[in-house]
Structure 1
Amino acid sequence: MHDAEAGFGIRSSTTRTCTLTGEVTRKEYVCCKQGYALTSNVSCKRRRRGSTRTGCKAKLAILKVKDKNKYIVVRFNEVHNHDMTTVDKVHLLRSHRNLTESAKVYSADMSKVNIPIHKQLSLLEVQVGGLENVGLVKRDVYNYLRDVREEVIGHDAEQLNEHFMAEQEKNESFYFKMEVDSEGRMGNVLWSDARSRRAYGFYGDVVVFDTTFNTNRYGMVFKPLLGVNNHRQTVLFACAFLTSGTTDSFVWLLEEFKKSMPGEPPKMIITDQDTAMSKAIVVTLTTTFHRYCIWHILNKITEKPGIGECFSEMCKCIWGMDKKEEFDAKWEEIITNNRLKNHAWLSSIHAMRENWVPSYVKHVFSAGMSSSQRAKSCHSFFKQYINRKNTLMDSLYILRELLFHEDTRS
């Protein structure tokens, strides 16, 4: 009876090959329940599983006939010592599953946009009319993608560079810069396509930059540099992978950003209060006004002990005062009435009010932006598709599909 009808799995047991030609001369196949599971006296908290081995003696052995191009059956035992797998579960047996080439391509494409494997299987199940017709389970896909990622390790940076060079050959306006150390290891990377560079020429007066998003398996920091167009839509100027969030990395990033963009440096750059970024801006963007994200500051006010009671008053002071003198007077009044004169953090943000308070920064064009929330929203969007298991090429492909591909951008 055919194994699919009998309801049992098979596995390869013994293989003998010719030492001279490497040709298989004998092959044995056994029931998947052949032998016995190894036992251990070591206590373990792992979930206990039912026994899968029963010492089944069912076997098929074939032998190659000498000097003839054919095999003969030399041993066959069809008797099993266990119940057969039921028809509704036989498709789950390992020997009955097969990850076809089309399934590999399908899973690879789905994984490029980080569609979870359980959703991939659900889609396949609908397409083929039931789970029993899919021919695989989640573990098969996990193992395949793991093997693919392992093959990429060690060649990821090289593939990334080749991809960028190919893009540059297609369009000479595509810009990229990749750091390589003396040992040939990849460092920081920045890239921008022709459309993004052209957008900077129109809308590059204000750049929004956030310093809090990590991605990919190498722990590199993903940094998009954003702006806003005349329709109040977020536009992307460039993207970067940084090896760290240090001042040196940010200096490299901003210098390369200036080289890649047409025209003058931005009039304003909006960031959070990252110290390393602040130092880098002083060094590289000497004519650019550095504005701190007001959302970060207001959010911190609510978290500081003893300040929450007067938060509403402070908001009215920050947003409602048109002149610097009015803001300073009202701020002093609030601080005095709430006995916050000696509050070190409030004193520190008041000292840098020229970089975030609206009445102090309104003399510089800001395109209607006062925070880096556009970057935060962008990061939130990316996190739906990107995770720390991604290789550089995975991340690049996803970003290209989401942001750079001409068919997906208006």
Structure 2
Amino acid sequence: MDIDSNNPSINGTEEVEEVENNPSLNEIGEVEQPKKGMCFNSKQEVYSFYAKYAKHLGFAIAYRTQNIGQDGKVKYFGIECTRARKRTKRSEVHPLEPSLSSFIECKAKVRATLQKDGRFKLTTAVLEHTHDLIPTDSRHFAMNKRIVTPVKRRLEINDEAGIGVAKNFHSIVVEAGGYEALTFDERDARNHIEIMRRLRLGVGDAESIALYFHRMQQQNSNFYSAIDLDEDGRMRNLFWADARSRGVYKAFGDVVSFDTTYLTNKYDMPFAPFVGVNHHGQSILLGCGLLSNENTETFVWLFKEWLSCMSDAPPKAIITDQCKAMQNAIEVVFPQARHRWCLWHIMKKIPEKLRGYAQYESIKFALQNAVYDSFTKDEFDEEWQAMIAKFNLHDNDWLGVLYSERHRWIPAYVKDVFWAGMSTTQRSESMNAFFDGYVNSKTTLKQFVEQYDNALRSKVEKEMKADFKSRNKLYDCLTMYEFEKQFRAVYTNAKFKEVQVELKRLLYCRANLVKEEGAICTYHVKEAILVGEKMKTVECVVYFNTSECEMQCMCQWFEFRGIMCAYAITVLLERCIYHVPDKYIVSRWRKDIERGYTCILTTYTKAGAVVNAKLHDKYHKMLDEILEIAANDNGKHQVLDLGLIEIKDRVRKDQSSSAIR
């Protein structure tokens, strides 16, 4: 998977250029300079080596290019001087508002390629810079800034004593013997103090959280909570998931959305819910956290706790906003999960990023057309490049980054993976609005834990109502085709309505058999669509395997949403097939899908009063007792395994017999 399409390595020719060593850089003390052929054990090791070299000489570095293979492993990557990019000519857009830029097209860089032995080898080492190098500048670069723990504590004590940030920082400068002796500046000190202020909970906050966690644990031992403490033992981050949320994950944890929104204006703590989607397409909570900040370290801690809570079963796909810290943490904790950016988050930035252009409306239309109307990767690339050339957008950094990361958000690049519909405006808004009506910008932590149960109670009630309607009410069929009745009989009402949206499109679709090779038939399906006030014809390719009764549509709607598309259904009709094969009935959308979590005892529903919930709690306690008896005895574990397998098989057999009767 390429992140830099202009990279020569993509075309199979590895770049091996190396500028002759600058004589003035040969003797640089204990810091070794990069040389082509050097090998390192990991990507991080390459970065650390180059960072040490850069700090010694007086320049900053950043990752630039990267290539990820089909196996998810990094094949090669590049690190360059932060002054490498071409300067953006913003004056063409805002001639009276010139902006500062450090870009000067510096060529200094290294590139490393993965070898067969798993190590990374430097294949490029360009040492020459197009700007002056001043070692004393290194302390001003963000990559070199840090505040050691004793200094952090001094800043916090002074702040608690009511000393202003400026005087607070100045006292540290005096004690250190000058600005040059520090590895941070006043802005860094201010940021740290603001983060620490978030951790000073108000009266009753810490107690409320502790009491809530204790109450949930007493109610159900499957309640999971974790508290991350700082060096001084103060609460820094929180994570928890109740027993129902853990049960929900077993049924609907394949696709997860993660986002942060601010809980309170007093503590400014990011609230971070993990959200999934159930068989009705409704948002469901899979755990949540309260964080002190939004850096990579914090997200790694949160993701690891969440993964541990969910029995170390990672999601298959995860969707977030365009956050580098989240992306870094996902690569560490969920390396095999497919990660994409929320399309809505990106598209809503169009006015902010592009409104300054005279042809803004035309640019916006072209951008939306390329994003939403491209069936294939090649079609998108062609439309995008045409837009860039037509409106002379080559120097727009925002668009440049979006294109280099197109595999993370463009529908044509991500539709080969199942996302359960979690890519629309509705899903993004519902993530942030999960606790709407119960939590707002002025909610304190104490109020939050009091309202948490009320919010979840409302969500559970909505799911139960949707279950009831799907069991007891049916939508009228739009057609006489048997497969519509087939979908109506098994799918929830919400998902059946999505099927009917595709059925309505059949009126405008026509299939034409263009090639037949053995069992594979190739169809071109044309659809008439309305664009503005004009009719337009689009064409999609559908492959049909006659021996297996399998279909592959170029639009990949089924792979993306789990709903058969109008193009595939048109081909079925062309072949006089009126019954959909079982493989195209997605069990995730069934109204009778098994959901063990519905009988889990909780503090926020009255479901615990029904027989199923009481039995669930009874058997759960019994299993806990058995596990305690088994302890670490392998012989007893084998007996337990065989016994549970036998019980499971007998219950399933009895369930099947009951269904037949």
Partner of 1:156: 205
User: Which one of 270, 288, 309 corresponds to residue 319 of structure 2?
Assistant: 270
Q: 1:407 to 1:209 in 2, by over 3 A?
A: closer
Partner of 2:223: 174
1:307-358 deviation digits (Å, cap 9, x = unpaired): 4422122212212212111111121112212222232221111110000001
Deviation, 1:363, is 1.6
Deviation, 1:192, is 0.9
Partner of 2:107: none
Q: Check the 8 A contact 1:223/1:240 in 2, yes or no.
A: yes
Q: Check the 8 A contact 1:227/1:235 in 2, yes or no.
A: yes
Partner of 1:396: 449
Partner of 2:400: 347
Aligned partner of 2:454: which letter?
E
1:100-152 deviation digits (Å, cap 9, x = unpaired): xxxxxxxxxxxxxxxxxxxxxxxxxxxxxxxxxxxxxxxxxxxxxxxxxxxx9
Aligned partner of 1:205: which letter?
D
Q: 1:284 to 1:210 in 2, by over 3 A?
A: same
Partner of 1:286: 335
Q: Check the 8 A contact 2:257/2:431 in 1, yes or no.
A: no
Q: Check the 8 A contact 2:350/2:364 in 1, yes or no.
A: yes
1:140-192 deviation digits (Å, cap 9, x = unpaired): xxxxxxxxxxxx93442133123212311221111111123454321211111
Aligned partner of 1:377: which letter?
S
Aligned partner of 2:249: which letter?
Y
**Larger deviation, residues 301-310 vs 195-204:** 301-310
1:30-67 deviation digits (Å, cap 9, x = unpaired): xxxxxxxxxxxxxxxxxxxxxxxxxxxxxxxxxxxxxx
- TM-score computed with the length of structure 1 as normaliser: 0.58
Q: Check the 8 A contact 1:251/1:280 in 2, yes or no.
A: yes
Partner of 2:366: 313
Q: Check the 8 A contact 1:188/1:243 in 2, yes or no.
A: yes
Gaps of 5+ in 1: 1-151
Matched, 1:226 2:275: yes
Q: Name the SS for the 2:264 alignment partner.
A: coil
Q: Check the 8 A contact 2:208/2:449 in 1, yes or no.
A: no
Deviation, 1:236, is 0.7
2 CA distance for matches of 1:231 and 1:168?
A: 29
Q: Check the 8 A contact 1:175/1:191 in 2, yes or no.
A: yes
Matched, 1:332 2:394: no
Q: Name the SS for the 1:168 alignment partner.
A: helix
Partner of 2:435: 382
Matched, 1:213 2:266: no
Matched, 1:251 2:300: yes
Partner of 2:586: none
Q: Check the 8 A contact 1:224/1:240 in 2, yes or no.
A: yes
**Larger deviation, residues 394-403 vs 208-217:** 208-217
2 CA distance for matches of 1:250 and 1:332?
A: 35
Aligned partner of 2:319: which letter?
I
Aligned partner of 1:314: which letter?
L
Partner of 2:411: 358
Deviation, 1:286, is 0.7
- TM-score computed with the length of structure 2 as normaliser: 0.37
2 CA distance for matches of 1:359 and 1:336?
A: 21
Aligned partner of 1:271: which letter?
T
User: Which one of 360, 368, 374 corresponds to residue 421 of structure 2?
Assistant: 368
Deviation, 1:209, is 1.3
Q: Check the 8 A contact 1:213/1:379 in 2, yes or no.
A: no
Within 5 Å, give how 1:137-156 maps onto structure 2. Answer: 153-156=202-205
1:50-100 deviation digits (Å, cap 9, x = unpaired): xxxxxxxxxxxxxxxxxxxxxxxxxxxxxxxxxxxxxxxxxxxxxxxxxxx
Deviation, 1:203, is 0.9
Q: Check the 8 A contact 2:296/2:329 in 1, yes or no.
A: yes
Deviation, 1:228, is 0.7
Q: Check the 8 A contact 2:374/2:380 in 1, yes or no.
A: yes
| RMSD, matched Cα | 2.3
Which has the larger Rg?
Answer: 1
Partner of 1:136: none
Q: 1:371 to 1:255 in 2, by over 3 A?
A: farther
Q: Check the 8 A contact 1:210/1:223 in 2, yes or no.
A: yes
Gaps of 5+ in 2: 1-200, 465-661
Deviation, 1:223, is 1.1
Partner of 2:518: none
Q: 1:405 to 1:325 in 2, by over 3 A?
A: closer
1:282-317 deviation digits (Å, cap 9, x = unpaired): 111111111011112212223323244221222122
Q: Check the 8 A contact 2:222/2:242 in 1, yes or no.
A: yes
**Larger deviation, residues 383-392 vs 166-175:** 383-392
Q: Check the 8 A contact 1:216/1:387 in 2, yes or no.
A: no
Deviation, 1:408, is 4.2
Q: 1:186 to 1:226 in 2, by over 3 A?
A: same
2 CA distance for matches of 1:255 and 1:404?
A: 27
2 CA distance for matches of 1:273 and 1:184?
A: 32
Q: 1:263 to 1:244 in 2, by over 3 A?
A: closer
**Larger deviation, residues 169-178 vs 370-379:** 370-379
Q: 1:160 to 1:242 in 2, by over 3 A?
A: same
Q: Check the 8 A contact 2:438/2:455 in 1, yes or no.
A: no
Q: Name the SS for the 1:178 alignment partner.
A: strand
Q: 1:347 to 1:335 in 2, by over 3 A?
A: same
Q: Check the 8 A contact 1:175/1:260 in 2, yes or no.
A: yes
Q: Name the SS for the 1:327 alignment partner.
A: helix
Partner of 1:201: 250
Aligned partner of 2:278: which letter?
N
Partner of 2:36: none
Q: 1:332 to 1:406 in 2, by over 3 A?
A: closer
Matched, 1:186 2:239: no
Q: 1:181 to 1:350 in 2, by over 3 A?
A: closer
2 CA distance for matches of 1:403 and 1:293?
A: 24
**Larger deviation, residues 337-346 vs 152-161:** 152-161
